[in-house]
Amino acid sequence: MTNGCILQAILLLCFFTTTALAVNYELLRYQQRRSNLASQRLLWMLNRNLQYCLEDRMDFEVPEEIKQPQQFQKEETVWVMHEMLQQIFDILTRNSSSTGWNETIAENLYMELYQQMCHLETALKKIKGEKDFTWGSMTTVLNLKKYYLRIALYLEDKLYSKCAWTVVHMEILRNFSFLNRLTGYLHN
């Protein structure tokens, strides 16, 4: 696959969006909402004839902290969103040839996700530079990592079967509903 080239091109994009100004949460919310919708649409296009795969269903045990997102500060929200997108990106590109997905659509999705991460990363860099900010949600991010690790191990365990990908695909699609909700909490 040509992922390497695409990522290099996008990394440049990421570089150019960095500015010295404070985080504009309104702009970030706008960008994220647009990207969430685009990613969701691309995810739907990837797997149209969903089988049910009942036997492969799995509870990946969502971290408790994630169930109360309204308690996050907006800075933590940015961090959680970035972590989720990063992990989703890693899972989807893990053994991408085994998905059987349309490569053009998959590459558009990777690009969309990467751009989304870029915007969040720029914001995160600024947040980390603010001197009186403390990270209260370290545990949340660690538990999120474990949650996505369970998904990755599940895929490995199921030898990247079609049904396993379907289950993971559905889980990630629903994760985007949660990302949409988080996006709504970004305000200046």
Ligand X SMILES: *[C@@H]1O[C@H](CO)[C@@H](O)[C@H](O)[C@H]1NC(C)=O
How many residues touch ligand X under the rule CB under 6 A: the total is 16
Which of 73, 102, 143, 180 is in the footprint of ligand X by CB under 6 A? 102
Closest distance of CB 103 from ligand X, Å: 7
Distances (CA, A) of 17 to 23, 74, 123, 161: 12, 20, 10, 38
Binders of ligand X among residues 2 to 41 (CB under 6 A) are none
Task: CB nearer to ligand X: give 93 or 102.
Answer: 102
Distances (CA, A) of 20 to 81, 162, 174: 22, 46, 35
Tokens describing residue 125: 């860099």
Task: CB nearer to ligand X: give 36 or 175.
Answer: 175
171 binds ligand X (CB under 6 A): yes
Which of 56, 160, 180, 184 is in the footprint of ligand X by CB under 6 A? 160
Closest distance of CB 52 from ligand X, Å: 15
Q: Is the dihedral of CA 155, 160, 166, 169 positive or negative?
A: positive
Which of 6, 58, 62, 163 is in the footprint of ligand X by CB under 6 A? 62
First-to-last CA distance in the chain? Answer: 40
Which of 3, 73, 93, 98 is in the footprint of ligand X by CB under 6 A? 98
65 binds ligand X (CB under 6 A): no
116 binds ligand X (CB under 6 A): no
Q: Using CB under 6 A, list all residues that contact ligand X.
A: 62, 66, 84, 95, 98, 102, 104-105, 144, 147, 159-160, 171, 174-175, 178
